[in-house]
Structure 1
């Protein structure tokens, strides 16, 4: 079989596209004009050494088992060996762009964390670098949750399959709710806020926290989770900003009231020492957060709380919306135009598009299915979580999954994080009203995005 050199993408094209938010400036003179080499002839079967890039060893382990399972079942034409590279989530995108410009060393399969993926939405970068998965998912497209395909879609092309359906639920420490007399079944945020305000004065406890530290994405995340629940969003489908809305104003007003009255705590970030201290001291007894937070937030920080925490759907906003939201996710993509492109696509399909592997992913990693039908799986519905007192948590997830909002990404999300985070803090401090904070953030965002494109 003839082997060809891995293709590079036109460096002149990347320069014209802006190089992915900083790659042009980073590489300087390397972006001189260069003709594009031909796409490699793809392998269609046989043994393949795949360059597999991710930020988490758990993904390496999961994909290797999925590959072994598929090979043992004889369900595909390839025999995969994963040559893994682990690096920071942001670095994966940066290094992929840089290696594409250099014309060598790109991954065959890459895990693209949802916070870093917007960089590939700049210009034609996604189309130049990633293999569309539309044909690969055709047989299960109606079963894939639109809320998990929309963030990784551009111009009707799906470029990555998400690893999770990270529903936002309300975690509450049941033993502490009982101790302070706080009901666990209140239906709306307003009802919970009224009860929490009284409890705060008596017992110095908080029903949730927002971040006010240097992680700007997290500052926005605390607001965005509830904004999407309320029925609003940061961006419209076409990428235009959408924060000047009644939904955004109502959401921010709720958070501002909570911070100023003291029943919403402020922490530097959701995973660091200040959050741990708030949990360990018993000051923080509830939090709206994604389904993965038990594994990555509660268990590492307060293992001694085993049996005390529960989850429930989010209390509703009186003005409308659903009982859940989304935050987080990592999409796996195959690089286009490479000898191993087809092998990469087939690996992603084997790992992410069968009910059996979706069930195993939840059992092994705690990540929710992205196929709607798997939410009816009896094995998952019957699991009793010991950290959460034997609760059948999957029953909660099934109850709210059809209320999950669809959200959209924009190439300008990093700019919005920078701008909006500052105005959220000013609103929490009482320097600006929610309406003023959102209007000024939108104005500054439009000014900065116009400048970046001029």
Structure 2
């Protein structure tokens, strides 16, 4: 039975129809009117054969879940099959809301890429459409405490967990080990000030950059370049209550550092992290370091410069002398389960058995390269012994475990896209020298409040 959202004010004589509310939600970017997607009473399946409708933006996830079916069959009372739909990450959310309006065709499981998930946080959409996976986590003693808060925070609201993240994408500094040695550059600077001195000398003497920031049309990547440093410095775009917290001295300090790097040449501007110009800079040895998430090796380095296998290394990022964290995170995909469906329980059990067991998290690292989201898995002896051929035989978990205890939480807002639009423009203005870093941050915050109405 549909109950109007508390955020709506229906007529006292006749409340709006369920369909009208749903249409309004989809038409306005899903503003707080969605109901649970089950149509009427449903009888949940508790065992036996079940075909789950899975929506994802990435073939790799489909392959991983397919390979995980035998384990799920072993650990649950179900015998699973998958029916998969793939689409672009933003399109999945749009399609989900549209199908909820139509009251048919919604999936059982869906993967929410980090930049797309904030739309689900508007009003009570997530609460009405998605199962609280915190209840499933609580069924395993100690599991809630073992899950890294840095990876549950982005998919949580009001104490409820709506997505299980696929990764703990720690920020590290990838560097060309061979060229650092050739140019006499020390790897693993302790502070960003030291990194700047090393970088200024490297650019002055050898014409190379030790990092890159995005200055192209993709506003999400423009903000990402800044936000990694901002979060590490101890700041955040939003707090847990979705209030803007951008306007801060931490934001100014992070932006001042990037502007200094661009002026001095030890940070280079690129149109995006994955396209032709970046590939050319990597191939030519002009960019010999990249501050990025751990997944960048798989999606940025290995596809673009496979011939440089063995020449790269990985180090913990330098720290800000004034405070902050050892690292930060960027990106991620959280898988959620639709509530009120016959397959809701089966989907929750499938996700729990393929994503949250120790064995599943180890398997996910080996299959996809994504880091565990449970702290205890980082003590797995086999993972600790793992070596990485692309990184010259380096043991990556030596770096990961040293960072794990100091990873900040990142909170998102349903108005994230508005902030990204205005902030990207202000960041580019600061990079060009049209705005001071302080003026850029203040302008972005003011423009956001004007456009978001808060």
Q: TM-score, normalised by structure 1?
A: 0.92
Q: What pairs up with 1:24-423 in 2 under 5 angstroms? A: 37-71=39-73, 73=74, 75-138=75-138, 139=140, 140-423=143-426
SS at match of 1:69: helix
SS at match of 1:223: helix
Distance 2:315 2:413 in 1: 31
SS at match of 1:136: helix
Distance 2:34 2:389 in 1: 58
Distance 2:109 2:423 in 1: 33
Shift of 1:198: 1.8
Distance 2:312 2:193 in 1: 22
Q: Report the more deviating stretch, 259-268 or 181-190.
A: 181-190
Shift of 1:38: 2.0
Matching residue of 2:11: none
Matching residue of 1:4: none
| Cα deviation code 1:364-415 (max 9, x no counterpart) | 1000000110000011110110110000011110110111111101001000
1:260–1:429: 8 Å Cα contact kept in structure 2? no
Distance 1:405 1:68 in 2: 35
2:72–2:80: 8 Å Cα contact kept in structure 1? no
SS at match of 1:436: helix
Q: Confirm whether residue 11 of structure 1 aligns to residue 19 of structure 2.
A: yes
1:20–1:120: 8 Å Cα contact kept in structure 2? no
Change (3 A) 1:211 1:229: same
SS at match of 1:22: coil
SS at match of 1:106: coil
SS at match of 2:412: coil
1:206–1:283: 8 Å Cα contact kept in structure 2? yes
Distance 1:93 1:227 in 2: 28
| Cα deviation code 1:225-246 (max 9, x no counterpart) | 1111111111111111111111
Unmatched 5+ stretches in structure 1: 1-8, 25-30
| Cα deviation code 1:263-303 (max 9, x no counterpart) | 11000000001110111111100111011110100000011
2:230–2:251: 8 Å Cα contact kept in structure 1? yes
SS at match of 1:142: helix
Matching residue of 2:3: none
Distance 1:301 1:96 in 2: 33
Distance 1:341 1:235 in 2: 31
1:208–1:285: 8 Å Cα contact kept in structure 2? yes
Matching residue of 1:22: 29
Structure 1 vs Structure 2 CA RMSD: 1.9
1:20–1:119: 8 Å Cα contact kept in structure 2? no
Distance 1:329 1:152 in 2: 10
Shift of 1:22: 3.2
SS at match of 1:85: strand
| Cα deviation code 1:16-51 (max 9, x no counterpart) | 6x4385368xxxxxx999x99424221111111111
1:10–1:36: 8 Å Cα contact kept in structure 2? no
Distance 2:20 2:343 in 1: 25
Matching residue of 2:8: none
1:21–1:119: 8 Å Cα contact kept in structure 2? no
Shift of 1:70: 2.5
2:22–2:100: 8 Å Cα contact kept in structure 1? no
SS at match of 1:323: coil
Distance 1:301 1:320 in 2: 35
Distance 2:445 2:208 in 1: 34
Distance 1:405 1:260 in 2: 29
1:231–1:321: 8 Å Cα contact kept in structure 2? yes
Matching residue of 1:5: none
Distance 1:402 1:39 in 2: 45
Unmatched 5+ stretches in structure 2: 1-16
Distance 2:188 2:115 in 1: 33
